Structure 1
Amino acid sequence: MPRKAAQVSEADKHAAAGGAIAVDRALFVLSVFRLGDTALGLAELAQRSGLYKSTLLRLLASLEHAGLVRRQSDGRYGLGPEVARLNAVYAASFSLEAVVMPALRELVRITRESAAFHVEQGEHRLCLYRVDSPQPVRDHVRAGELLPRDRGAGARVLRAFAGESGTLYERIRHEGVAALVGDRSPDLAGVSAPVFGPGDVLCGALTLTCPASRYREDFRVDVLHAARALTQALGGTFPDSIADNASAG
């Protein structure tokens, strides 16, 4: 009789409803590789995935056959060449707008305030994408407009995660979010969080803006969750401290 696991593995916790268990487990094995990992032994893979070594060996055989992992001479496993090929295909077909705009629309739907995606542009920051609040009273920044690089929640986040020193920027890096009232304009409030891409490179800042009178503290959680989801969609990973703050919210 096959041995039953004493508890549900991490792989099975992340299984797709109605999906194929073996496929879910194999894909989860790939997901346990982290930035900086060159190769992992069977024991480390078992610990991270929560799978029995016997199960892992069968999954790894299939992944190796597909070129998704490569078994090294010392018996450890690293990612295979097929991962690089798929990444090249994805990068060639990738559209930032197609990923960012739905995230902005969803944030506006939840908060009923304006959402934007900012990137650094020389001595300024650029409002690359924007979705307006459905409410008549709002700020009127448009996509393509240049804004100050040293004022506003989006600017503060971009500078913080570019390594700017100072108490404010240290707090933003620790909390993962900037929530400011009157920083760019006395009548406006902004909440912003960083968005990361592959290699955990800073891609930009996801920013919610509203009249100061409509600011709510729970916007911090909304923006953090949206930025974390967008980071995942872009193939990045939030730093652990930020992920913990978002979960705590």
Structure 2
Amino acid sequence: MSQTVDRALSILPLLARGPADLGQVAASLGVHKSTALRLLRTLHEHGLVHRQRDQRYRLGARLFALAQEAAENLDVREIAHPHLVALGEQCGHTVHLAVMEDHEVLYIDKVESRYPVRMYSRIGKPVALTVAAVAKVLVADLPEAERRALADRLDFPLYTPRSVPNAAAFLKELATVREQGWATDLGGHEESINCVGAPVRGADGRAVAAMSVSAPNVVVSADELLTLLPLLCRTADAISREYSGGPPHPGSALPAPQKVNP
């Protein structure tokens, strides 16, 4: 990278910590004030830096506009798909990717299992909000007021004896999901199907999508499926880092294998 470009880019993280005057910028870069001024003027011309009335510099509005535009044009499905395929090849089970839109959770990608048994799920289909692991992950990430409002207006169909029965139980499980960073559906929608889910996070730490691994009991038990949690969480974290361009999320610590309560 050219020295001039390197110096100019070094100004941006400095100003991200707060406004700075010419002397502070020059000292941070280790250059003469005239050099720092030339760099600041160039950034100012492009709207990346703004000079305040007190002659200090701060980040410009154009920088935020570019960041917002880039975020809006990121396609989480496109980024996630190779990771979903790799996970499917490693574990052999069905892998899903889902997002929340208008308090509805939809599948946006699916990698089929390698065995003949197929799950009845398809891209674009809404999931069972009160039981699906991907739904629990996404709803748990909502602010508390939104979680409670959503729970209050949901019906709680008893698909199986393991389905979440009411709003109180749903909110309690969401609190657990929020704390541990992953969710399960162990026979809650279909008695023969178990599922584990984890969030894909954006640069702000919020869940932008959720992914899951699902398998029928005839292939693996619930306990065996839960041993895949570390692999699932590593994959979700890899997608998150690629999507956000940042380091692993602080909440992405790998869980220990779990055991189903009898």
TM-score bracket, normalised by the shorter chain, equals: 0.5 to 0.7
Contact 2:132–2:189 under 8 Å retained in 1: yes
The aligned counterpart of 1:172 is: 177
The aligned counterpart of 1:195 is: 200
Q: Normalized against structure 2, the TM-score is what?
A: 0.63
The answer to whether structure 1 residue 227 and structure 2 residue 206 are counterparts is no
The answer to whether structure 1 residue 208 and structure 2 residue 208 are counterparts is no
Contact 1:199–1:236 under 8 Å retained in 2: no
CA distance in 1, matches of 2:179, 2:65: 36
Tell me which moved more, 24-33 or 232-241: 24-33
1:216 is paired with a residue whose SS is helix
Q: How does 1:142-161 map to 2 (within 5 A)?
A: 142-161=122-141
Q: Give the deviation of 1:29 after TM superposition.
A: 7.4
Q: What CA deviation, in whole Å up to 9, does each residue of 1:75-124 have, x standing for no partner?
A: 87643345335336535754343223223223223322221112235565
Q: What CA deviation, in whole Å up to 9, does each residue of 1:41-85 have, x standing for no partner?
A: 69xx9xxxxxx9455998997577445455656687643345335
The aligned counterpart of 1:13 is: none
Structure 1 unmatched ranges of 5 or more: 1-18, 46-51
Q: Normalized against structure 1, the TM-score is what?
A: 0.65
CA distance in 1, matches of 2:116, 2:2: 48
CA distance in 1, matches of 2:7, 2:232: 31
The aligned counterpart of 1:134 is: 114
Q: How does 1:236-247 map to 2 (within 5 A)?
A: 241-243=250-252, 245-246=253-254
1:126 is paired with a residue whose SS is strand
CA distance in 2, matches of 1:110, 1:75: 57
Letter paired with 1:210: A
Tell me which moved more, 54-63 or 217-226: 54-63
Contact 1:117–1:129 under 8 Å retained in 2: yes
Letter paired with 1:84: F
CA distance in 2, matches of 1:155, 1:122: 13
Superposed CA RMSD in Å reads 4.2
Distance 1:106 1:91, change over 3 A: same
Structure 2 unmatched ranges of 5 or more: 149-170, 258-262
2:63 to 52, 68, 83: 83
Letter paired with 1:186: E
Distance 1:197 1:181, change over 3 A: same
Q: Give the deviation of 1:201 after TM superposition.
A: 4.3
CA distance in 2, matches of 1:86, 1:146: 32
CA distance in 1, matches of 2:84, 2:14: 29
Contact 1:179–1:220 under 8 Å retained in 2: no
Q: Give the deviation of 1:176 after TM superposition.
A: 0.8
Tell me which moved more, 145-154 or 164-173: 164-173
Contact 2:10–2:29 under 8 Å retained in 1: no
Identity of aligned residues (%): 24
Q: Give the deviation of 1:231 after TM superposition.
A: 2.4
Contact 2:49–2:58 under 8 Å retained in 1: yes
1:234 is paired with a residue whose SS is helix
Q: How does 1:36-47 map to 2 (within 5 A)?
A: 39=18
CA distance in 2, matches of 1:21, 1:180: 54
How many residue pairs get aligned? The number is 220
Q: Give the deviation of 1:167 after TM superposition.
A: 2.9
Contact 1:39–1:76 under 8 Å retained in 2: no
Q: What CA deviation, in whole Å up to 9, does each residue of 1:203-228 have, x standing for no partner?
A: 22112212242533342122222222
Letter paired with 1:220: L
